[in-house]
Structure 1
Amino acid sequence: MKILLLGNQDIASLLACNRLIKALPYHDVTLWTSARVGKGKQPPPELAQLDLLERQVLPELLLPFARQHGCRIRSFEHLVSAGQFQQISSINDEATIRQIEQIAPDLILSIRFGLILREPVIQLSRLGVLNLHSGILPDYRGVMATFHAMLNTEQQIGTTLHFIQDAGIDSGDIVSIQRQPLDYRQSYLTNVLSLYTSGVDAMVSAVESLNLGKPLQSASPSDGGHYFSHPDQTQLDAFFAKGLRLFDMQELQTLVRSWIAGDA
């Protein structure tokens, strides 16, 4: 199948796209990434540090170091064939729509993509658009679902594989939910990164079912749920008051060692 994969320029999306593309060797994948999620407002200092870590320090500094020592995780540019990767700043304009028409995707996949898809783009995919959301829907719509789950003292976190059917955020029919215990001994970032093993595997399974001509069973999300945006300083202060951490340097050292050992 021809697949248009939409990611984001951060470490979680990079690791997830590596796992996904490796599992789909017989499909023709074009990869586009957004620069960030959200409108780029000035964040609180703690979130700015996290953003720097996710988008620059880990993928652009520590990952190249790990590659020098045997790590096989590829950069976005080297995950697909030459000419099939680009970073985009708009998805719904006429020029981008013409590009998608030329790709003629059978399926569009989204992992942490930072731009909202609207109907003209959604309709260009023969089999629809599948998004892997890093939260349990409909309870945790929006961004940084794991942060808000930790703040709310939840026992589980997870990913939700769902269709994007309109411009609503995290509102499409749900294909599957992968749940796991929330580990409060670990930082927010480590918990988030742990989600994408089972989450990507669920996406791979869905792709292969569609490739075999088997429609996916899905259900409309139940009523209720909540939409969460980036936390403000008050929420961050409450998070830290619980003894929780956005990231941990020792955990990052363990992460890099796992890349070198080939465990990622």
Structure 2
Amino acid sequence: MRITLLINYDAAALLALAYLQPALSKHQVCVFYTRHTAKVTVSPMLADLSQFDAKLTHQAESAIAAFSLERLDDINGVDFARYQQTKPDLVISIRHMRILHDAAIAVPKHGVINLHSGALPAYQGVMATFWALLNQEEHLGTTLHYIENSAIDQGAIIASSHTPARYDHSYLWNVLNIYSAGCANVIDAVGRLHNGEPLDARAQAGGGAYFSFPDHAALTSFQLPLFDPSDTLTRFLPRRAH
């Protein structure tokens, strides 16, 4: 299959690529990335997290060397033609920082699937792991779902994962820790589509909440460090990628 990935250039997204790399090696893959930093400048705490995340990102770059990454910031506008040229059978979105419009969603014949770093519908939006930890959830989730329109994190659910929350580690550690299980669901979905099997997807049931970047009150009430200086991506990278 021809697969186009839409990612953000951060540690968690590159870690996800490292997990996906062996399974995607049999496919024709194109990777587009965004860089998004404007929001984190609102809070010094989030700015520090972003700077530390950038250090971890460098640890992943050698692990994803098999991929050729291209920056694509305006997928719905001036960059649409470049995206369309990839003629994807499937688009996979992971931490991508752009809302896709109908024209972009309509390009791949198998649709657009998104790996969201939170349990849906309960935790829509950004930094879902932060809000789940703030709410003292026992498990942290990922949700693989279709992007059906420009509504954020509301498409039909293909698969979910549930990873124990670790309150003896940092927020960032917990974010990185959920991607192994989440990417396993992506690999399963790709395999099914490659074999001509439809993906079983169910509409989201029940209400949820949309979360944005935490404000000062939420950050100061958070009981865990956002990151620990000893956090490393090496602990999470697949052994073959070290």
TM above 0.5: yes
Residue ranges of structure 1 left out of the alignment (5+ in a row): 65-71
Alignment match, 2:42:
43
Amino acid in structure 1 at the alignment position of 2:225: R
Question: Do 1:7 and 1:17's aligned partners in 2 also have CA atoms closer than 8 Å?
Answer: no
Match in the other structure for 1:67: none
Structure 1 residue identity aligned to 2:66: L
Deviation of 1:263 (Å): 7.4
Q: Residue type of the partner of 1:51?
A: S
Which one-letter code corresponds to 1:96 in the other structure?
Answer: D
Quick check: 100-109 or 200-209, which moved more? 100-109
Q: Specify the alignment match of 2:73 in structure 1.
A: 89
Matched, 1:79 2:66: yes
Contact 1:33/1:113, CA 8 A, preserved across alignment = yes
| 2:55 aligned residue (54, 57, 66) | 57
Where do 5+ consecutive residues of structure 2 fail to align?
Answer: none
Render the CA deviation track for 1:108-159: whole Å, top value 9, x for unaligned: 0011111111100000010000000000000000011111011111111010
The equivalences for 1:1-264 within 5 A come to: 1-36=1-36, 40=39, 42-54=41-53, 56-60=54-58, 62=59, 73-74=63-64, 78-80=65-67, 84-93=68-77, 95-239=78-222, 242=223, 244-252=224-232, 255-256=233-234
Displacement, 1:257? Answer: 6.0
Q: Secondary structure at the match of 2:104?
A: helix
Q: Against the structure 1 CA distance between its residues 258 and 85, is the aligned structure 2 distance closer, same or farther, given a 3 Å change threshold?
A: closer
Matches of 1:247 and 1:160, distance apart in 2 = 23
CA displacement at 1:226 relative to structure 2? 0.7
**1:13-38 deviations in whole A, cap 9, x for unaligned?**
0010121122221100000001027x
Q: Distance in 2 between matches of 1:182 and 1:152?
A: 11
Quote how far apart the aligned CAs of 1:223 are: 2.5
* Cα distance change of structure 1 residues 25 and 89 upon mapping to structure 2, 3 Å threshold: same
Between Structure 1 and Structure 2, how many residues are aligned?
A: 242
Identical residues among aligned pairs (%)? 38
Task: Please state whether the residue corresponding to 2:41 is helix, strand or coil.
Answer: coil
CA shift for structure 1 position 180: 1.4
**C-alpha separation in 1, matches of 2:184 and 2:31:** 18
Q: Which residue of 2 aligns with 1:68?
A: none
RMSD: 2.0
Q: Which has the larger radius of gyration?
A: 1
